[in-house]
Structure 1
Amino acid sequence: MVAFTGGIWSSRGRITAPHAQLHVFPEALRLVFFDQDYVLPREAINALSKMGIRPVNGLRIRHSTPLYPSYLVFWPRGLFNNREYEKLRRSLDDNGYTVT
């Protein structure tokens, strides 16, 4: 398991860094922020994609879990976060996830 600190944009609002964490497990992704704890099993993840608003990169998570916000983007910590995003992408690759 590897954990990354950052922020989250969702269809329910925004949580700024450093108040969110993304945990990468081979069998699931887990987003934790304040009183929310979202566990997304691998089979519920439809797509992972890079979302960028220069100079910041985020990870868009498309999933099929109806209890969680339909729109989820995790932004690794840092104004110019390319290095942190690449660490996140490598961790996802190492755990068998594909990021487009």
Structure 2
Amino acid sequence: RSYGYHYGKAKGVRVNTVSQSPTKTTAGTGISGFNAFYEYANQMSPLGNASADDCADYVITLFSDLTKKVTMQNLFHDGGFSCVGISEEIVEKMEQGLK
């Protein structure tokens, strides 16, 4: 946010970050346990995980005049994952595992 404030004031530059859902990339899939976390996040997210292409499309909108006043924000692009507690599907799986 410091960059967003200083560069915004001095040069009119916008600075934002994007928090993407788990994404199947070469780097991501190299992490131990990634596939389990990916599936968990996909089930938790109301809209499912976003792909790398989906994220690229989203970021392109940030270069348009439609978002010219968006700055110093962390923008979530995660299918709703960051806003949910636990999905009904996960609760059902947990209940089945306890029986």
User: Which one has a larger percent helix, Structure 1 or Structure 2?
Assistant: 2
| TM-score, scaled relative to structure 2 | 0.23
User: Which one has a larger percent strand, Structure 1 or Structure 2?
Assistant: 1
* Structure having greater relative contact order (Cα 8 Å, sep ≥ 6): 2
Structure having the higher Rg: 2
| TM-score, scaled relative to structure 1 | 0.23
